[in-house]
Amino acid sequence: MGTAIVASAGVALPGPAHGPRGVLAAVWALSLVMLLVLLTARAMHWARHRDRARADLLDPVVAPFYGCLAMALLAVGGGALTSGRDLIGTRPAVVLDTVLFCAGTAVGLGAAVAVPYLMAARHRVEPAQATPVWLLPLVAPMVSASLGPLLVPHLPPGQPRETLLLACFALFGLSLLATLLMLPLVFARLVTSGPLPLALTPTLFLVLGPLGQSVTAVGKIADVASGVVPAPYDRGLGVFAVLYGVPVMGFALLWLALATAHVVRARRQGMGFSPTWWAFTFPVGTCVTGAASLAVHTGLAVYDALAVALYVVLVAAWLVAACGTVRGLLSGELLAGPRPAPPAPPSRTVRTRSDAVR
């Protein structure tokens, strides 16, 4: 999904800032290949190591990452219509997006229910263990809300279009309210327990995901509302896109500054590359699409400039994360299992004066 958003966000940029569509289509194709490889690997893992796969669901550290599977399906599917159709054609893009959207939405809704349930019923977590990773299963429905409107024009007029559009609006509310319940735990953990461990510090950027994606969602819903929902609700959705999007984008920029400060601190203290660096990509990409949507609905050039600036950050972050991943795979470092803990030093026997006499 971190790769697919590079293509989708590039298409969303204002006209003069558009990257070459052929390059963006190639980036989307790369994301599709990566998705197929990862789905194959995941299927083999479940087929050959089912006990280990089930154990992952009971691991409070691993379970939230099932939200990433849903977002990967959705991001690649949405990219098929925004940038991939130049490569494969509109009709195949619609079919591919429909399949991936349905699958991603189903997985995302399942994760949004199952993971919080397991956290309450099976996992044993403390408030000091809260991290932005807990947001991952809750953000997936928001990705569906922002990408579902792409399929609305391809449905028959009337109730099919209105049903999908209002379903996307419901997914927006579901994800938003769930995020508002979880985000205070993350912020309270930072304030009361101090910064995250160095390797987890990049995950602070995950908070940008529901923020930027929600701004994108209300903008995309408003874009296709005319003629789909009756008046005055179509115009009301356009007003809501601005009234909601402007303050939330402001908070996203505040969090971006806070997260960047934490990353700079962690880097100075020796934070090295790890897969968590991919957190710098997709969440920033959602802010690009959110800013681009606000530019359309407000007509302000400042949001065009913000979208371009954030896209530059996104591309730089993707290059860093991709290069680090390739180096780690070639060296075997990312595929290596956890290192065993070093043996404890031998205990010393303290000789007392009475021992010496004996």
* Region 99-108 average pLDDT: 95
Query: 208-235 burial, b for 16+ CB within 10 Å, e for fewer?
Result: bbbbbbbbbbbbbbbbbbeebbeeeebe
Write the single-letter amino acid at 150.
L
Cβ neighbours of residue 43 under 8 Å, at least 6 residues apart? Answer: none
Of 225, 220, 105, the closest CA to residue 161 belongs to: 225
**In Å, what is the CA distance from 338 to each residue of 38, 272, 276, 334, 335?**
21, 16, 16, 10, 9
Residue-level pLDDT at 339: 53
- Site of tokens 């089930």: 54
- Region 10-28 average pLDDT: 83
In terms of residue numbers, what domain contains 295?
4-332
Q: Which amino acid is at 84?
A: G
- Residues 108, 138: contact at Cβ < 8 Å? no
pLDDT tens profile 224-256 = 999 999 989 999 999 999 999 999 999 999 999
Residue found under tokens 């919080």: 116
pLDDT digits (tens, 9 = 90+) for 130-186: 899 999 999 999 999 999 999 999 999 999 999 999 999 999 999 999 999 999 999
The verdict on residue 348 lying in a domain is no
pLDDT digits (tens, 9 = 90+) for 64-101: 888 899 999 999 999 999 999 989 999 999 999 999 99
Predicted local distance difference test score (pLDDT) of residue 342? 45
Domain-located, residue 181: yes
Q: What is the pTM of this model?
A: 0.89
pLDDT for the residue 57: 76
Task: Render pLDDT for 283-340 as a digit per residue (tens, 0 to 9).
Answer: 999 999 999 999 999 999 999 999 999 999 999 999 999 999 999 888 877 766 545 4
Indicate whether 231 belongs to any domain.
Answer: yes
Q: CA torsion 142→101→17→277, rounded to 10°? A: 60
**In angstroms, how far is the first alpha carbon of the chain from the final one?**
72
Say which CATH number the domain at 81 has.
1.50.10.150
Tell me how far CA of residue 50 lies from CA of 56, 57, 70, in angstroms.
Answer: 10, 11, 20
Is residue 345's pLDDT more than 60? no
Mean pLDDT of 217-225: 96
Q: Is the pLDDT of residue 347 over 60?
A: no
Domain annotation covers residue 355: no
The pLDDT-based confidence of 357 (bands split at 50, 70, 90) is very low
pLDDT for residue 18 is more than 90: no
Count of domains forming the chain: 1
The answer as to whether 342 is a domain residue is: no
pLDDT reading at 358 higher than 70 = no
Does residue 344 sit within a domain?
no
Q: Establish if 13 belongs to a structural domain.
A: yes
Question: What's the rounded Cα separation, in Å, for the pair 326 and 150?
Answer: 33
Nearest alpha-carbon partner for 67 in 125, 32, 29, 118 = 118
| Residue 244 identity (one-letter amino acid) | Y
Name the one residue in this structure whose structure tokens are 């026997």: 349
226: tokens are: 């005319």
Per-residue pLDDT band for 55 (boundaries 50, 70, 90) equals confident
Report yes or no on 162 lying in a domain: yes
